[in-house]
Amino acid sequence: MDQQYLLLNRKLMPIPTAIKSIFLSKTFWVAVLQAAVGILVVVGTSAPDIGWIMVAKSILDVILRVISTGPVSVPGIPPKD
């Protein structure tokens, strides 16, 4: 596979090949589904707070997926493969 580059500040920067597309991530699609259910809870129930919490958590999941390149683990506990 050829190296791909991104033009950033008038410089060509190599794109790391280890970063997979967000659309191929299971975490992303679980967050999308969770946000959709949260919106349905906000619109369809008398307890919209739970729905907003679900939407906020799914946004945080996507942000964490974007900024992390490897598995996230608790310090002192090795990540499972």
The answer to whether residue 76 is domain-embedded is: no
Report yes or no on 26 lying in a domain.
yes
> Is the pTM here over 0.75, yes or no?
no
Give domain status of residue 11, yes or no.
no
Q: Is 76 left (phi over 0), alpha (psi -120 to 50) or beta?
A: left
Q: Is residue 7 part of a domain?
A: no
Per the structure, how many domains does the chain have? Answer: 1
pLDDT at 11: 77
Query: Hey, which residues does 14 pair with through a beta bridge?
Result: 5
**Cβ–Cβ under 8 Å, residues 15 and 7:** no
Q: What is the mean pLDDT of each run of 10 residues along the chain (81 residues)?
A: 67 64 81 93 90 92 80 74 62
Q: Which residues contact 28 (CB under 8 A, 6 or more apart)?
A: 22, 62, 65
